[in-house]
Amino acid sequence: MKETGQGLFDLTGRVVAVVGAGSGIGEAAARACARQGATVACLDLDAESADRVAAAIREAGGRAWSAAVDIRDADQVEAVLEATTEELGGLHGTVCTPGVNVRKPLLEYTSDEFDRVVDVNLRGSFHLLRSAARRMEEGGSIVLFSSIRAQVVEPGQGVYAATKAGVIQLARTAAAELSGRGIRVNAICPGVVETPLTAPIKAHPDWYDAYAARNAMRRWGRPDELAGPVVFLLSEAASYVTGTALFVDGGWTAVDGRFQPPGMDSR
């Protein structure tokens, strides 16, 4: 394990590709990786957003490059990661944050809606995992994004939940298959986080507050609160961590109900 001035979480000398870097958790992760010394490839479906984040990193004294990519397109993913490797001189870490959801009961789902959710969440994660692993150097780390919905569900979340459970199994399988090459693969499972994906919920105070009350910390998470776990999994601090699903959910999956029996002190 290397010793550096920044300690276990130092990413100096590493090239990290962050997909979804144009907003939300991806943007927070890209900025955090740059602060820890990584050269960051800011990749996003929205080229302007990716450019904006890369420019902000450079203005803060970091190193960043940007490009557009649609993770549903395997050829695009191959091309952009090849360009990243050539432009930045290697690939040591990859983070995949994009996700979509169509909230509907299963019996009302259309085939097109099913395909849309699966194509981004599961197929897109697979495309990125495969392309990154083909180019990644020994000691590299791949971080996929799953969700608490991989473990706990509610009406209207069936297809989304299935894809997020699938992401965990992709990560576990890849961890087993790539261990001989010194590549670690893990998944992060966020709880409710204020991002563009969850923005529609904020327009419904009852829904928003109910989700906040559901976890142990009784609030929503912020994108920057997911950046630390990303840096951890990319860094030497997680050198013995692979094939795991890290739940960053404010205690959502630990809490079962909110009724407090008389005489029970919650402190």
CB 96 within 8 A of CB 144: yes
* Residue 109: active-site member: no
Nearest to 144 by CA among 229, 34, 35, 215: 229
- Catalytic residue, candidates 160, 208, 211, 240: 160
Q: What DSSP designation does 202 have?
A: H
At 44, which helix (H) or strand (E)?
strand 39-44
* DSSP-derived pairing of the beta strands 245-248 and 93-96: unpaired
Tokens 């004294």 belong to which residue? 61
Helix, strand, coil percentages for the chain (3-state, nearest 5): 50, 15, 35
Nearest to 205 by CA among 197, 213, 196: 213
Burial (Cβ within 10 Å: 0-12, 13-18, ≥19) of residue 255: middle
Contacts for 219 with CB less than 8 Å, ≥ 6 apart? 212, 250
CB 192 within 8 A of CB 226: no
Q: What amino acid positions are annotated as catalytic residues?
A: 160
